[in-house]
Amino acid sequence: MNREKVGFIGLGIMGKPMAKNLIKAGFNLIVYDIRNEPVNELVMFGAERANSPKEVAERSDIIITMLPDGPDVEKVVCGPNGLIEGLKRGSIVIDMSSISPTIARKIAKEVEKRGGEMLDAPVSGSEPSAIEGTLAIMVGGKKEIFDKCLPLFNAMGKTITYVGESGAGQVTKLCNQIIVALNIIALSEAFVLAVKAGLKPEEVFQAIRGGLAGSVVMERKVPMIIRRNFNPGFKIKLHQKDLRNVILFAIEHNVPLPFTSLALQVLNTLVNEGKGELDHSAIVHFFESLAKIEVKSEKV
């Protein structure tokens, strides 16, 4: 597996550290991004440069994409000068973006028409997890292709799970994003209430983190909130996109999601207020503005 050429397209907050971890693990990487800066950085780190998605496909056996949304993946894979134009028979495309399962299945069919194979393998975890190589990766597609690509996934993640046929990875990720969004909203409401009642947020955090209310979301996001550190590990606008995909997919399957719909409205409001580039822990701003209070440590 390490001798095969691996292409990587999309070197953003998540993609760049993921690509670096593949290089550290000994994979030969060919990279492409619409921005020169991260490409230059990866080349200095040991990768080779490509000038288009088509060229990545021509020079690679396995191609990973890590892009903002479904239309971006469609353009990179199926558009002019896209992966499909350079795809070799037997090549594998792994989309690790978070997109609509419907779009994922559509793209997979196009890849298969050209003699390739495709996995949808979205990730859970923000920038620190990408840097540490501890992402949770949920994978849909053919089991035998998943098994072949497992060494790649192991270089980028800690929990790698095969969840079913094409599109299953994306469905699982949508479920994940519902839970994370509602967790952050619950934390925001709770800590706004605590501070409004005169308590110190850091003390409330210590009191409840070891009980049933404790969670990975709490461990990651509450320290950011009380230190007022909203540098993006995962941007509000990306979580907004994910919940929009959740609602559209739920409509296709006639599944009512009342609380997820409310969560999307909270994110829509924050994006309209110009906060889309902040980390999704900044969801707390919505509730702080309602209560006229700020959740922060006295040490800040």
Digit-coded pLDDT (tens) for 48-77: 999 999 999 999 999 999 999 999 999 999
pLDDT for the residue 299: 78
pLDDT tens-digit series, residues 277-300: 999 999 999 999 999 999 999 876
pLDDT for the residue 156: 98
User: Chain-wide mean pLDDT for the chain?
Assistant: 97
pLDDT class for 126, splitting at 50, 70, 90? confident
DSSP code per residue over 171-204:
HHHHHHHHHHHHHHHHHHHHHHHHHHTT--HHHH
d(Cα 11, Cα 57) in Å, to the nearest integer?
16
pLDDT for the residue 28: 96
Together in a domain, 111 and 201: no
d(Cα 95, Cα 245) in Å, to the nearest integer?
16
Residue labelled with tokens 């702080």: 288
What integer is the mean pLDDT of 93-117?
Answer: 97
d(Cα 61, Cα 92) in Å, to the nearest integer?
7
Whether the predicted pLDDT of 14 surpasses 90? yes
Q: Is residue 20 part of a domain?
A: yes
d(Cα 130, Cα 21) in Å, to the nearest integer?
8
Residue type, 42: L
pLDDT for the residue 21: 98
Instruction: Report which secondary-structure segment, H or E, holds 136.
Output: strand 135-140
pLDDT for the residue 2: 62
pLDDT class for 101, splitting at 50, 70, 90? very high
Together in a domain, 129 and 100: yes
Whether the predicted pLDDT of 1 surpasses 80? no
Answer with the one of 104, 135, 166 that is the final residue of a domain: 166
Q: Is residue 299 part of a domain?
A: no
Percentage of the chain exceeding pLDDT 90:
97
Query: What is the span of the domain harbouring residue 42?
Result: 5-166
Question: Hey, what are 255's tokens?
Answer: 């599944």
Together in a domain, 151 and 215: no
* 173 is known as an active-site residue: yes
Q: Is residue 74 part of a domain?
A: yes
Q: Is residue 298 part of a domain?
A: no
pLDDT tens-digit series, residues 188-222: 999 999 999 999 999 999 999 999 999 999 999 99
Answer with the one of 117, 133, 166 that is the final residue of a domain: 166
Number of helical (H) and strand (E) elements in the chain, helices listed first = 14, 9
Together in a domain, 160 and 191: no
Answer with the one of 112, 146, 166 that is the final residue of a domain: 166
Catalytic residue among 16, 20, 54, 173: 173
Together in a domain, 152 and 32: yes
Together in a domain, 22 and 158: yes
Together in a domain, 156 and 195: no
pLDDT for the residue 298: 82
Together in a domain, 60 and 80: yes
Nearest to 280 by CA among 243, 231, 244: 231
Q: Is residue 300 part of a domain?
A: no
Together in a domain, 236 and 94: no
Together in a domain, 250 and 144: no
The number of distinct structural domains making up the chain is 2
Q: Is residue 149 part of a domain?
A: yes
Together in a domain, 132 and 178: no
Q: Is residue 296 part of a domain?
A: no
d(Cα 185, Cα 5) in Å, to the nearest integer?
42
d(Cα 2, Cα 86) in Å, to the nearest integer?
21
Domain CATH code at residue 272: 1.10.1040.10
Together in a domain, 30 and 150: yes
Whether the predicted pLDDT of 4 surpasses 90? no
